Structure 1
């Protein structure tokens, strides 16, 4: 549970080696709040001690859907960073796959579908 708290406290969308920082600084608190809600969703599931991969994948979908109202205002690098944060959450719980939700968010389709 400490990992979730540490994740939520971490400053997000700031400049790093492979990321120039958020394109529109006004959006930082909005995006951070949405990411932290996803962390809360994951933490709540983790506390049950019997969440399945599908449960977490459903929470990823819900979390990404929170960005729908501002999606057109988020540039590609910031969308990649959002996916990066979801991958961090997946790592915390040992989830291997988003069930295609991250690809859908980034590219509009699931690359695993045939």
Structure 2
């Protein structure tokens, strides 16, 4: 189980309020190509955050957490690669809120279709 404490809720709420998919030199992201694309991508990330917050006020199972992120990753998969990449950095920010150091290869699998840490 992953603890959902008031500090984490506050961090997620702050991320929820943030305008997303705008130009960022930190992430080498040029910004969404247009406002409609930006809003669509932002909705995917915000929906994931709201879903995490709605699951429980005290804890969320790892299965529920990764299930929510996977749904968002699938929604991003139909967007331009730049939005997909930036979306995955939002997933990493969410992971940081919960002090999750690794996705266990999930993010690579969802983004690229394989886990580069697995030897073939």
Give TM-score, length-normalised by structure 2. Answer: 0.76
| 8 A contact 1:4–1:39 mirrored in 2 | yes
Superposition RMSD in Å: 2.0
In structure 2, the CA distance between the partners of 1:46 and 1:89, relative to structure 1 (3 Å rule), is farther
What corresponds to 1:93 in structure 2? 98
What's the CA shift for 1:107?
A: 1.1
What corresponds to 1:8 in structure 2? 16
In structure 2, the CA distance between the partners of 1:20 and 1:82, relative to structure 1 (3 Å rule), is same
What's the CA shift for 1:94?
A: 1.4
Q: How does 1:49-88 map to 2 (within 5 A)?
A: 49=59, 51-68=60-77, 71=78, 74-88=79-93
Which 4+ residue blocks in structure 1 deviate beyond 6 angstroms?
A: none
Larger helix proportion of the pair: 1
Q: Distance in 1 between matches of 2:56 and 2:29?
A: 29
| 8 A contact 2:108–2:114 mirrored in 1 | yes
Q: Distance in 2 between matches of 1:16 and 1:67?
A: 18
Gaps spanning 5+ residues in structure 1: where? none
In structure 2, the CA distance between the partners of 1:44 and 1:97, relative to structure 1 (3 Å rule), is farther
Asked if residue 110 in structure 1 is aligned to residue 115 in structure 2, the reply is: yes
| 8 A contact 2:76–2:87 mirrored in 1 | no
